[in-house]
């Protein structure tokens, strides 16, 4: 285990993913602006590809607990290639994350494979401020 709680949490929750169709397990862990930890794992269903991504699950848990701002995010996929968030998740992250939000992608051993800001993953993003929301 690493000395980083987000990396450890993303690795641990990845093992609980439900992915009988793709067999591609993903875990996500985030801290909100108050430092609270939230986790999510991908959850598939028989109407594949309809399912829930790990990032969306973690964000939903944060929102359900009253959080509104992602301060740090880690995504853990399998293998030695970074597991970058899909397009839909990039937009979900943008709803609750600032363009400078650091997103780390790690493997199941906890090695950081790639670090990007949200702006690098989703340049020129459409966000809440474009609709006059705070």
C-alpha span between 119 and 31 (Å, rounded): 18
CA dihedral 51, 81, 70, 33 (to 10 degrees): 130
H/E segment holding residue 128: none
Q: Is 55 a catalytic residue?
A: yes
Local structure of residue 23 (DSSP, 8 states): -
C-alpha span between 36 and 134 (Å, rounded): 21
Are 40 and 6 in contact by the 8 Å Cβ rule? The answer is: no
Helix residue ranges, H only, 25-116: 54-64, 87-96
Q: Which of 44, 50, 55, 129 is labelled catalytic?
A: 55
* Active-site residue set: 55
């Amino acid at each position: 285990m690493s000395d980083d709680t987000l990396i450890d949490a993303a690795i641990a929750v990845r093992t609980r993913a439900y992915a009988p169709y793709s067999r591609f397990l993903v875990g996500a862990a985030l801290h909100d602006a108050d430092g609270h930890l939230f986790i999510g794992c991908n959850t598939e269903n028989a109407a594949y590809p309809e399912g829930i991504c790990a990032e969306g699950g973690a964000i939903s848990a944060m929102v359900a607990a009253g959080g509104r701002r992602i301060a740090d995010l880690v995504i853990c996929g399998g293998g030695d290639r970074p597991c970058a968030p899909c397009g839909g998740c990039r937009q979900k992250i943008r709803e609750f994350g600032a363009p400078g939000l650091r997103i780390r992608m790690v493997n199941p051993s906890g090695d950081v494979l790639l670090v990007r800001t949200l702006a690098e993953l989703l340049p020129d993003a459409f966000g809440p401020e474009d609709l006059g929301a705070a």
